[in-house]
């Protein structure tokens, strides 16, 4: 069971990183490339920026903003391997490039992840537990690493995987960097 779970995590991570590496950039002048922070375009971010491994949904689960950086959460799925995958988009509405450095973990093991979601967490307020991003045996987070910067006006896909809270715990809060906490609901995977 553990081997299958780790294999699923490795495959999912590889596919998502491949898709994230191929998406984005250069399409800002094309029709339909409007600001993704408006609530009227729910769920369109993934299909316009190259997609993601996580199941797409027409529903925006949370929109949060800190300064010029906007985060949209579009999928929170409990997977059969005992983990939860959270995914969405980050949009840089500022006039300078952004690389996610303040989203990185302070943990020594995760320092080499650089600008990434390694510092993200899910908080189960009712169960009084905090779930940190999963990592592989090399100390890399099972999350998006921003290998470059998110340039002004660009949107990038992201994902992060966490240990799953106990069955029956469906409401958690997503936290990363200085972003406001975002209450989200976990759905069951396929």
pLDDT at 121: 92
Summary count for the chain: helices (H), strands (E): 2, 9
Task: Give domain limits for the chain.
Answer: 2-26+42-188
pLDDT at 43: 35
Report helix, strand or coil for 85.
strand
Phi, psi of 48 (to 5 degrees): -90, -20
Cα 66 to chain center, whole Å? 16
Distance in angstroms (rounded) separating the CA atoms of residues 11 and 162: 16
| Topology of the domain covering 2-26+42-188 | Immunoglobulin-like (2.60.40)
Q: Is the separation of the CB atoms in 173 and 184 below 8 Å?
A: yes
Taking the chain (190 residues) in consecutive chunks of 10 residues, what is each chunk's mean pLDDT? Answer: 55 50 43 37 34 52 92 92 93 87 69 72 93 86 82 90 92 92 86
pLDDT at 177: 86
């Amino acid at each position: 069971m553990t081997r299958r779970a780790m294999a699923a995590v490795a495959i999912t991570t590889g596919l998502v990183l491949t898709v994230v590496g191929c998406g984005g950039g250069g399409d800002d002048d094309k029709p339909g490339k409007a600001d993704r922070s408006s609530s009227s375009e729910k769920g369109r971010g993934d299909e316009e920026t190259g997609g993601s491994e996580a199941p797409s949904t027409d529903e925006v689960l949370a929109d949060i903003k800190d300064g010029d950086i906007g985060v949209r959460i579009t999928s929170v799925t409990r997977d059969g391997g005992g983990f939860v995958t959270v995914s969405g988009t980050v949009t840089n509405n500022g006039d300078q490039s952004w690389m996610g450095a303040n989203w990185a973990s302070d943990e020594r093991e995760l320092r080499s992840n650089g600008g990434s979601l390694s510092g993200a967490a899910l908080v189960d307020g009712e169960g009084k537990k905090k779930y940190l991003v999963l990592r592989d045996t090399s100390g890399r987070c099972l999350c998006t690493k921003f290998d470059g910067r998110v340039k002004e006006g660009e949107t990038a896909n992201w994902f992060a995987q966490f240990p799953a809270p106990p069955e029956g715990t469906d409401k958690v809060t997503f936290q990363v960097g200085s972003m406001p906490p975002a209450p989200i609901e976990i759905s069951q995977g396929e």
